[in-house]
Structure 1
Amino acid sequence: HIQEGLTPGHLKKAKLMFFYTRYPSSNVLKIFFPDVKFTRCITSQLIKWFSNFREFYYIQMEKFARQAVVDGVALMRDITVDRDSELFRTLNTHYNKANDFQTWWWE
């Protein structure tokens, strides 16, 4: 069934896809969204979503890095992000708002 528009399910899929590719080409979008009828408007909306995802992600990374510097972290290897960190919580809340997807953690 081909969709004429984008649904909340497409938004969730795009948010997860963002961690796979920050700048998807139109061909990649068509592969990942085979149920969508691509028009200029649909393509534009998907591109805008990814732009917003990038902006949010990089703002959070910058805030985290600035706080690390304020906290006296001098070496990149001394920076850690665990499940209890504000960065993890913020990103998980934004990209996985309903906790539809289990997040994994390696120690």
Structure 2
Amino acid sequence: MEKFARHALTAVADARSLTVGRESDLFRALNVHYNKNNDFQVPDRFVEVAELTLREFYVAISMGKDRDPSWKKAIYKVICKLDSDVPAEFKSHPSG
């Protein structure tokens, strides 16, 4: 996420213009990482939270907050408020 936010700093002037769609490089990277075998249809809410997270990273970096060693804690506090319950089918799916 941080890598994508840093890259966006060179091309985007406003965090509100940052979007994450199912065809974006960020979505593909997250999907490969968390859903390697494409076992699950990624919920729309995941895409929304990824976009909000990208914006949070972008704003923090653009304001220089990344100079503080614990700069990500504030972002994680925002993100954790967006958490939802893990769907039952994810819990019962065999891993590996």
User: What TM-score, normalized by structure 2, do the two folds share?
Assistant: 0.43
User: What TM-score, normalized by structure 1, do the two folds share?
Assistant: 0.39
Which of 1 and 2 has higher RCO (CA within 8 Å, sep 6+)? 2
| Larger Rg over CA atoms | 1
